[in-house]
Structure 1
Amino acid sequence: MNDHYYTNKPTSASNRKAFDAMLRGLNLRLTSDAGVFSRDGVDYGSRVLIEHMEIPRDANVLDIGCGYGPIGLIAARLAPQGHVKLIDINERAVELATLNAKANGIHNVSFAQSDIFSGVRSETFDVILSNPPIRAGKAVVHQLFSESREHLNPGGSIWVVIQNKQGAQSARAKLEEIFGEEEVVEVGKDKGFRLYRCRRKQE
């Protein structure tokens, strides 16, 4: 039986797979493996997020639940004067993301194994990017939403992509509860996926 991707140490036998992905007009050579999310190619939800996300050139960015890295690595290309930290609970995913950064010559990045925000407790960011781990359960996803606010700089935003059938409307309601209704905007929808941008108010 294959590992659930939301596990800290996959036990399934390694079976790496390399492929090219064209994302936002940029080509990445990516390696994935058994026991990580969307092993066979970049999933559609991540593609929706990548195509719409707005990353200032000097932004300090967090990719939470990075998998093998496509979202965070494109963010790093969009923020050449900034920095992107890629984190995941899954140690194999973090290893792959590190490998993929090196393979694509992307240097303005760092990596950590982290259960939600446990590995970045004292850090704050201008932008947080998340294709949340729906299969980990609503409690985990809502914890990610709730804690994200404290890890955003004032005026910063979290971008969240989620499928309608996996609870997009209830996710929006939770985000509005955390950030305020006026600070949550649907910025894109495509093939059953919805993308929300939630801003932490200037204080």
Structure 2
Amino acid sequence: MNDHYYSNKPQSASDRQAFETVLRGFNFRLTSDAGVFSRDGVDYGSRVLIEHMEIPHEARILDIGCGYGPIGLTAARLAPQGHVTLIDINERAVELSKHNAAANAIHNVSFAQSDLYAAVAGEVYDVILSNPPIRAGKVVVHSLFAESWKHLMPGGTIWVVIQKKQGAPSAKAKLEEIYGEDAVVEVGKDKGYRIYRCTKNGE
């Protein structure tokens, strides 16, 4: 069965499970399921991104490839006067992120099932957050990077986490091609994971 976390409609039988975790000092009760990314708990890469990401209190934020929502929902807590849009190609992931927002009384959020940026065409953000779907392949990941430019306000940032052994060097090169070498900064690394912040300069 060809069923991946980047499938738009997972075929695996639902098997929801709930767990509690702390992210950036906030307590969360999250529910995950079969057929979504990191169903057994918040993955280490997402945790590293969450620890490093800088979120202005009034920011307009996009979490692309949101899974069941840990990155975007943490961002919503960090931006109480802002708004976070959580999108994923996986309809089960989107439903879980909605469920988790409600369960944690997080209201400054909206959701959409989306193939890359299709559901937010024409929208721009102060911050884009992504733990990109590496298993979907380099073409998809590099498209996610390339299209991010037009979805950022001038001076906006995209924050990306990626493992060195899963293509961090080529990802950094692609981001530098899009944003310029001086605009791409490695702001953190932990256990092989790299966090890149890219700033949209110029225009």
Which whole-Å CA distance do the structure 1 matches of 2:202 and 2:2 have between them?
44
Task: Work out the CA distance in 2 between the residues paired with 1:17 and 1:202.
Answer: 46
The residue aligned with 1:93 is 93
**Which structure 1 residue ranges, 4+ long, deviate > 4 Å from structure 2?**
none
Ranges in structure 1 where 5+ consecutive residues have no aligned partner: none
Q: Find the aligned partners of 1:22 and 1:108 in 2 and give their Cα distance.
A: 19
**Residue 56 of structure 1: aligned partner:** 56
Structure 1 CA distance, aligned partners of 2:2 and 2:118? Answer: 26
3-state SS, counterpart of residue 153 of structure 1: strand
Give 1:20's aligned residue. Answer: 20
Distance in 1 (alpha carbons) for counterparts of 2:158 and 2:105: 26
Aligned to 1:164: 164
Quick one: which amino acid aligns to residue 158 of structure 1?
Answer: I
Secondary structure class of the residue paired with 1:147:
helix
Alignment of 1:1-203 (within 5 A): 1=1, 3-203=3-203
Q: Secondary structure of 2:147's match?
A: helix
Displacement after TM superposition at 1:2 (Å)? 7.3
Give the secondary-structure state (helix, strand or coil) at the position aligned to 2:67: coil
Give the AA of the match of 2:51.
Answer: E
Counterpart-to-counterpart distance in 2, 1:65 and 1:191 = 22
**Percent of counterpart pairs with the same letter?**
77
C-alpha contact 1:2 1:35 (8 A) present in aligned 2: no
Shift of 1:3: 2.1
2-structure distance, mates of 1:150, 1:2:
32
Distance 1:27 1:190 in 2: 23
TM-score (norm 2): 0.99
TM-score (ref. length: structure 1): 0.99
Instruction: Please tell me whether the aligned partners of residues 2 and 12 of structure 1 are also in contact (alpha carbons under 8 angstroms).
Output: no
**Following TM superposition, by how much is the alpha carbon of 1:175 offset from its aligned partner in structure 2, in angstroms?**
0.2
Shift of residue 118, structure 1, vs aligned partner: 0.6
Aligned-pair CA distance for 1:198: 0.3
In 2, the alpha carbon distance for the partners of 1:55 and 1:24 equals 12
> What per-residue deviation string (whole Å, max 9, x for no partner) do you get for residues 111-148 of structure 1?
00000001101100000000000000000000000000
